[in-house]
């Protein structure tokens, strides 16, 4: 479906992405994680050719997008904000988009508008943040793309709307085999939706793996000690998720027997091994440099 090969990009002299490679298959929902400024949005903008890569190629079904931008009829990018939409109503936006995207399905768009009760006569800028996101998604899906690039689609919306937005995405993938590349700070959303995830860290895409595999790879250990072992744990570079008095929660790779032995040698009074969630893995990976 979409393939990124050795993609590099520097902005204002700062290397944002370096030799990033990734393939997303049909019907796959891929979650792109990373801290603010790690290059997630830049990666989406590179795919959509809003900016050009310094090196590397991006292929859609084997066709290089830069040389054949017409293939972007199959790719829709939904940014965090879309100021272009602001002054138009739903009908006006449909009128513009259906001339650009030949497969634009007006009937489907109307159906989704009715389903989510989005006002059709209001201008985009007059809608609430949640409704703006929903309208953008409706227009994106109605263009019948094969791949949708979603940048923070659930950012700034309430729980109910978020549920609707996520459901809309899940339905779309289930019904039409659409591929989705999604960035989000809401790890629970990523965890709920994505088949695979990847971490953008130090300009590179790391730990691209199946979400279940990732969770299987780590283990959370809750321990209680008689003495303060904080420093000892820190010295071993073991990510500490929480400490409350003598109770410690740490996260280590399941296969790291060396660290596990070290912790056992500290003679904990309590030892509980628990499954991890994505947020804990994320904090362990990205919070580590700051916290320990």
Partner 1 sequence: MPDSGLLYKEWRQNKVALVITILVFILGNPLSILNMYLIYQGCVTGKENWVGPCVFSVDYLNSSFISLFWIWGVVLAVSQLGIERSKSFFDFTLSLPYTRGQIFHAKFLTGGMVIVVPQLIGYVLSVLLIMLLKPDQAVYFHNYSLGMIIVSMLAYSLVMAGGALTGNSFAQLLVSFTVAISPFLLISLPVINLEILFGGSIDFIHGPVPKWVQYFIPIIYVDSKWAENSPYYLVIPAIMTIIFYIIGYISFVKMSNERNGYFFLWKPLNRPVQIIVIIIGIMGFGYFGFTASESFAGYLIGMGTGAVIGFLISYFAIYKKMKLL
- Residues comprising the binding site? 34-41
Q: How far apart are CB 170 and partner 1 at their closest, in Å?
A: 24
Q: How far apart are CB 30 and partner 1 at their closest, in Å?
A: 19
Q: How far apart are CA 59 and CA 68, in angstroms?
A: 10
Q: How far apart are CB 147 and partner 1 at their closest, in Å?
A: 12
Intra-chain end-to-end CA distance of the chain, in Å: 40
Say whether residue 100 binds partner 1 (CB under 8 A): yes
Name residues whose C-beta falls within 8 Å of residue 183's C-beta, 6 or more positions apart in sequence: 31, 32, 33, 34, 40, 41, 44, 150, 151, 152
Q: How far apart are CA 112 and CA 91, in angstroms?
A: 13
Q: How far apart are CA 4 and CA 24, in angstroms?
A: 9
Q: How far apart are CB 194 and partner 1 at their closest, in Å?
A: 23
Eight-class DSSP state of 34: E
CB contact at 8 A, 43 and 114: no
H helix and E strand count, the chain: 11, 14
Minimum CB distance to partner 1 smaller for 103 or for 254: 103
The shares of helix, strand and coil residues in the chain, as percent rounded to the nearest 5, are 40, 30, 30
Binding site residue list for ATP: 34-41
Interacting residue with partner 1 among 36, 62, 99, 175 (CB under 8 A): 99
Q: How far apart are CB 175 and partner 1 at their closest, in Å?
A: 23
Strand spans (E) along 225-269: 240-244, 247-253
Tokens of 36: 């603010």
Q: x/- string (CB under 8 A) for partner 1, residues 15-54?
A: ------------------------------x--xxxxx--
Q: x/- string (CB under 8 A) for partner 1, residues 61-90?
A: --------xxxxx---x-x--xxxx--x--
With CB under 8 A, what is the number of residues at the site for partner 1? 26
Minimum CB distance to partner 1 smaller for 96 or for 229: 96
Minimum CB distance to partner 1 smaller for 84 or for 271: 84
Minimum CB distance to partner 1 smaller for 106 or for 174: 106
Minimum CB distance to partner 1 smaller for 104 or for 248: 104
Minimum CB distance to partner 1 smaller for 79 or for 268: 79
Name residues whose C-beta falls within 8 Å of residue 270's C-beta, 6 or more positions apart in sequence: 222, 223, 224, 247
Name residues whose C-beta falls within 8 Å of residue 36's C-beta, 6 or more positions apart in sequence: none
Q: How far apart are CB 11 and partner 1 at their closest, in Å?
A: 6
User: What residues make contact with partner 1 under the rule CB under 8 A?
Assistant: 11-12, 45, 48-52, 69-73, 77, 79, 82-85, 88, 92, 95-96, 99-101
């Amino acid at each position: 479906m979409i393939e990124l090969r050795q993609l590099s990009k520097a902005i204002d002299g700062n290397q944002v992405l370096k030799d990033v490679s990734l393939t997303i298959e049909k019907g796959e929902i891929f979650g792109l994680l990373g801290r603010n400024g790690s290059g997630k949005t830049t990666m989406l903008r590179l795919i959509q050719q809003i900016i050009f890569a310094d090196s590397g190629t991006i292929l859609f079904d084997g066709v290089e997008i830069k040389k054949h931008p017409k293939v972007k009829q199959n790719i829709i990018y939904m940014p965090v904000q879309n100021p272009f939409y602001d002054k138009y109503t739903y009908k006006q936006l449909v009128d513009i988009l259906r001339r650009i995207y030949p497969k634009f399905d007006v009937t489907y768009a109307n159906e989704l508008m009715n389903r989510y009760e989005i006002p059709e006569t209001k201008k985009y800028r007059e809608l609430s943040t949640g409704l703006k996101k929903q309208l953008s998604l409706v227009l994106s899906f109605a263009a019948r793309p094969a791949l949708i690039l979603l940048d923070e689609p659930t950012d700034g919306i309430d729980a109910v709307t978020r549920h609707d937005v996520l459901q809309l995405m899940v339905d779309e993938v289930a019904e039409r085999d659409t591929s989705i590349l999604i960035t989000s700070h809401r790890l629970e959303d990523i965890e709920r939706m994505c088949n695979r995830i990847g971490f953008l860290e130090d300009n590179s895409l790391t730990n691209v793996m199946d979400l279940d595999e990732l969770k299987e790879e780590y283990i959370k250990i809750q321990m209680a000690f008689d003495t303060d072992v904080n420093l000892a744990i820190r010295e071993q570079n073991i990510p500490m998720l929480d400490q409350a008095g003598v109770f410690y929660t740490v996260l280590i790779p399941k296969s790291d027997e060396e660290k596990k032995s070290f912790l056992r040698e500290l003679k904990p009074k309590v030892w509980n091994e628990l499954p991890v969630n994505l947020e804990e893995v994320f904090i362990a990976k990205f919070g580590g440099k700051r916290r320990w």
